[in-house]
Amino acid sequence: MKTTVSRLLLCLIASLGIPLSANPAAAEELVRFESAPVKLSPFRIRKALEQGEILSQPQGTPLLGYLSRPAGDGPFPAVVLLHGCDHLRLSVKDLWPKRLVKWGYVVLVVDSFTTRKLDDTCGSALPERVFDAYGALEFLSRSSFVDTSRVALMGFSAGATATLDATKIAGNEQLMERKFRAAVAYYPACDADRGDPTVPTLIMTGERDNWSRAERCQKRLARLSDNAPPVELDVYRGVYHNFDAPEFMVGKRVLGHIEKYDPDAAAKSIRSVYAFLRKYLTN
């Protein structure tokens, strides 16, 4: 099944006329790094000094990741991938990295669950994932084959929500030394009060997705300031959650929400991601 799906996706990419890298992708590599530590605010540090309190050095959470890269020395632009609440499904761990590597990007898939001993977070939330994203960015900064001035953050479902949180103005992004260049969010839970993004952002969701509602994303866009970076919202008519994932070829209901692959919407979204990353990471 895995081989069949991969072949189908490669045929789809070829049919879209999207150029592939002349060099084959290197095999994925299991890597270990830490999430970015939750830095203490200047106020917290000042109060500690006033009260004679000794603060311990914040520590990051050990994480696993899967690193893939094009052949060659680079430096290449890169994409950090955040999985959804259902952990590492095939399309996130295998199909998207292969696609992105063929387009010329280094890819780091962040596994936020294994070291935390989590199976899923579909009934809860894990706000620490914002720090996982920046830990991945810091890890990539130590690689000579990565151009850390050209790294995008890309997430799916809960990972997409974390992507928006990681790139919002007045969020934890302001505490981080290194910054992402762009953000891609597949069917996130948009929040109208999230504020302006700090980077150009592409959001994609389905009209019938009652988990990541399109109208909430539309409300957020309506409230952006005139100085906000460009935000593109693609809403695909008649489409449900996980529309880009071939694993959901046969739709299913999860916690009251329909998840179903849609080949037409998937193809359109692939073209959008290709054009978006090319615009903001390769130019």
pLDDT (tens digit, 9 = 90+) per residue, 105-152? Answer: 999 999 998 998 887 787 777 888 899 999 999 999 999 999 999 999
Residue closest to 131 by CA, chosen among 34, 61, 32, 36? 36
Query: Where in the chain does DSSP place strands (E)?
Result: 29-34, 62-68, 76-82, 106-111, 146-156, 182-186, 201-206, 231-236, 252-254, 257-259
**The amino acid at 276:** F
Residue closest to 204 by CA, chosen among 217, 223, 191? 217
Highest mean pLDDT, choosing among 2-16, 158-172, 239-253, 268-282: 268-282
Give the pLDDT mean for 206-227. Answer: 90
Mean residue pLDDT across the chain = 84
Pairing between β-strand 62-68 and β-strand 106-111 as defined by DSSP bridges: antiparallel
pLDDT tens-digit profile of 235-275? 999 999 989 988 877 767 777 778 889 999 999 999 999 99
- Assign residue 72 a region (left: φ > 0; alpha: ψ between -120 and 50; beta: otherwise): left
Confidence of residue 57 (pLDDT cuts 50, 70, 90): low
Q: What is the pLDDT of residue 172?
A: 83
Q: What is the pLDDT of residue 60?
A: 79
Q: What is the pLDDT of residue 69?
A: 94
Q: What is the pLDDT of residue 118?
A: 86
**The amino acid at 47:** K
Q: What is the pLDDT of residue 173?
A: 82
Q: What is the pLDDT of residue 132?
A: 94
Q: What is the pLDDT of residue 90?
A: 86
Max Cα-Cα span within the chain? 66
Confidence of residue 43 (pLDDT cuts 50, 70, 90): low
Q: What is the pLDDT of residue 171?
A: 82
Q: State the Cα–Cα distance between residues 160 and 47, nearest whole angstrom.
A: 35
Higher pLDDT, 33 or 97: 97
Question: In the structure encoding, which two tokens stand for residue 158, read together?
Answer: 């809960």
| CATH 3.40.50.2300 assigned to 2-281 | no
State yes or no: pLDDT of 11 exceeds 70: no
Q: What is the pLDDT of residue 46?
A: 62
Q: What is the pLDDT of residue 77?
A: 97
State yes or no: pLDDT of 7 exceeds 50: no
Q: State the Cα–Cα distance between residues 59 and 151, nearest whole angstrom.
A: 24
Q: What is the pLDDT of residue 18?
A: 41
pLDDT tens-digit profile of 61-95? 899 999 999 999 989 999 999 998 888 888 899 99
Domain map (residue ranges) of the chain: 2-281
Q: What is the pLDDT of residue 28?
A: 81
